[in-house]
Structures are given as structure tokens and as C-alpha cells.
Amino acid sequence: MKKILLLVIAILLSVANTFAQGGTTGPLTWQISNDTLYISGEGAMPDYDDYYGMYAPWIDYMNAIFTLVIGDSVNRIGNDAFYQCVNLTSIYFNFIIPPDIAPGAFYTPLYIPVYIPCNTYQDYVGLWGGYFVNIIDLNPEPKLCMIYANANNYNEIVWNKDRYVSSYLIYREGSQTDQYDKIATVNYNELNKYIDTESNPMLRSYHYKISAVDIECGETILSESHKTIHLTINSGQNNSWNLMWTHYEGVEYSTYNIYRTSGATLGELELIHTISANNNSYSDFNAPEGYVYYIIEIVLNEGCEIGKSVSSIRSNVATNNPNVSVNEIKQKVYEIYPNPVSSILNVKMDNSENVDYAICNNLGQVVIRGILDESKSINVGLLSNGIYFLKIDDVISKIVKY
């Protein structure tokens, strides 16, 4: 669409030269066709001064100009050039380097939309930000929505799909500050989330950014970063436990929820306290004896849409259980049997609601996708023998098909 737009502009610029309403101003040429003013040539537009009667040459057509198209070699917009264009509703530029602009070039209460080439938004905003115009970014950076530690103890990255692009690129901060390495490419038609299986939220916090690839404009600049919560635990006096965590970065929030469970394995979590987001520590003086497990949570005011609405940002699980390694904590919500399986795979779940599922091969390609209905069974008889992975929500289980 944008290529067509630029082509149309180029054609109109050339066609405009055949109209009688036009002339020159300094080194530039101007032409009016219908309700559009075209300015072409190379160099700077002269300054005009309405106060002293030094009007722009298109002064007689000011009320009839609704669209302004400026060629790619005009490097300055003169003072009072469009001061009286009260009906101006759109401006089109076709050059990468923004032209200089005189303080009085535009004077109108309307914030006129200015359409600019791909990936030039920051430059135009920096130079034109205060001149009663609205810079339209044709290739805006995407927005991360949230990142949380999922049930398999991996970071799950979720972003907003604000417009159509060809794909999203996921970046994770490397060993140096602000050094971001690309770790994945996700096609637009896939769910707007990515599970970083190389992450381990129990070890540390992580920074992530994303970009989008537009077919016409290429890759956007990287988004603002999000930083995950990292929760740690140490023992206090009289069977108390001290929690400390890193603040989540990337969204606004006012409250942390603190969850706890206990037992030989991770069980159902219970909310034990709510604390102001100004805090990043808490001492649990009423902890039960034995093994305990904690999670810190943020609940967003507006959830993220990933096929369903999610709003909970959760930390890693912190525990005093020495028998649980940082790679072993899971929050299983279902069981599968038989496994290995030949034909029918049964799924036993705690809830009776219908849920989406996907089965992937060892290359990560989805080979079966569907909804678990009341029967809670999946026919895998047509799959070739081998190893597969069943994913329900954020929980992944290995399947052996024979």
C-alpha cells in the first residue's frame, strides 16, 4: 500500500506540472491540482512574512489546499509558508532526511497528519515535534505486553499485535548491558507469544525486546525492554522465611501479590499477602514447617490477548526444598496415559473446561492442533513413530508414539 502511495505521489508530482496554477519560489517549483499543492525542486524554500505583506505565492489558494506534497530534495520549509492554510488536512514527504522547518511554517490549531518514509519517525519527531503536526509512523515499533515465568519454568514473552507485519523478532539481553541478541522469529499468523526454552527464571532476571518486520519497510527499531521478576529466599529466625525480588520493568503497577504453598512437592498456591510495589522484600513469620514454595505476582489492569486474555505476571518459584533443582519445578495440571501410546492418548485434568492443545514434533512444528472436549482424548494413530510434545496452556509433556 505504501509503495503504491509513493508511486501515486511521484506520478502526481509530474502531472502537476501540466496545470496552469503554479510557478516558482526561490529554487523551487509549485503547482496546484484540485485540492493538492505540490512543491518540487532542490534547495530551501524562501521565508515569507505575512505581517509585512511578503506572502507565499500560493496565497490566493490557501483555503482550497487540503493536501500538501513535498518532493524529496526540498531541504527547508520557509516561515509563514502555510500559515494560512486553515483547511490543510494531510502532508506527504518522500525523503529520508527531514527538512529544516521555520518556527512559523504552520500555524493552525489542528494537528495535521504528516506521512513520512519508513523508519524515519524518530528523526522527524526530533525536528518537527512541536509544529502543530502529527507525525505518522508507518513502521512503528511493536509493544511488549508482559513476560512471566510459566508452568515449565521458562520465560514466556507476550506482545501486542497492533497491525499487520510479516513477523516478529525476539531479542534477549546478552552478557553486556544493552547488548541484545536475536533468539527467535515468530510469524505474524502464529500466536503473539514465545517461550524462551533457553531461559531459567530461577537463576536470574532477564531483559527482552522485540522488533517487527514489515514487508515494505523492513525491521523496526527495537521496542522498549521488559525485565522479569527474580525471586530469592533465605531463612530467618524461628522458621521464618525472607523473600527478596527484583522489580518488574516495562509496565506500570502498584501492587505485588505473594503466594505460598507447602509440602513435599509444589501444590496449590495460596495468596498470603498483598504489598505495595515500592517494596521488593517480605518476611513470612507464619510459614508452616517443612518445605515451602513462594511466587510473586503482578496483575495488569488490562490483560494481554493471546487467544485468551491473561493479566498475571508471575516470578519464578522460590523454595527451601533442597531436593528440587532449578529445572524440576513444574505446575502440572494434567496427566497423560498411556505413554508410550499407539493410538488414543488420554488426558486427565483437574478441571472439566474445554482447552486448546497442540502436539509438536522434535523440530517444534505443530502436527496436531485441537480442543480437548469432555472425552479428554486425542487420536495420535496417524502420527509416525517417534517423540512428540503435547502442549496444554503452558505445560509441555513428552510423548512417545509407537
The hierarchical CATH code for the domain 144-227 is 2.60.40.10
Residues in Cβ contact with 105 at an 8 Å cutoff, skipping those fewer than 6 apart:
77, 78, 79, 80, 81, 82, 83, 131
pLDDT bucket at 239, cuts 50 / 70 / 90: confident
pLDDT in tens, 268-315: 889 999 999 999 999 999 999 999 999 999 999 888 888 777 889 999
Residues 231-319, CATH architecture: Sandwich (2.60)
Residue 140 has pLDDT above 70, yes or no: yes
* Residues forming beta bridges with residue 231, ordered by sequence position: 245
What's the average model confidence in pLDDT over 49-68?
Answer: 89
Q: What is the 8-class DSSP label of residue 222?
A: P
Lowest-confidence region among 14-28, 128-142, 203-217, 376-390: 14-28
pLDDT bucket at 109, cuts 50 / 70 / 90: low
DSSP string computed for 175-216: SSTT-EEEEEEEETTS-SEEEETT--TTT---EEEEEEEETT
Q: How far is CA 177 from the centre of its chain?
A: 21
The pLDDT score that the predictor gives to residue 13 is 47
119: left (phi > 0), else alpha (psi -120 to 50), else beta?
A: left
| Inter-CA distances, 313 with 8, 103, 134, 300, Å | 47, 46, 34, 8
Lowest-confidence region among 194-203, 208-217, 326-335: 326-335
Do 279 and 255 touch, CB atoms closer than 8 A? no
Residue 398 has pLDDT above 90, yes or no: no
Residues in Cβ contact with 384 at an 8 Å cutoff, skipping those fewer than 6 apart:
401
* Environment class of 132 (CB within 10 Å of its CB; exposed 0-12, middle 13-18, buried 19+): middle
- pTM higher than 0.85, yes or no? no
Domains 144-227 and 334-401 share a fold: yes
81: left (phi > 0), else alpha (psi -120 to 50), else beta?
A: alpha
Residue 231, H or E segment = strand 231-235
Q: Mention the CATH class of domain 334-401.
A: mainly beta
- What does the domain layout of the chain look like in residue ranges? 2-136, 144-227, 231-319, 334-401
The pLDDT score that the predictor gives to residue 12 is 47
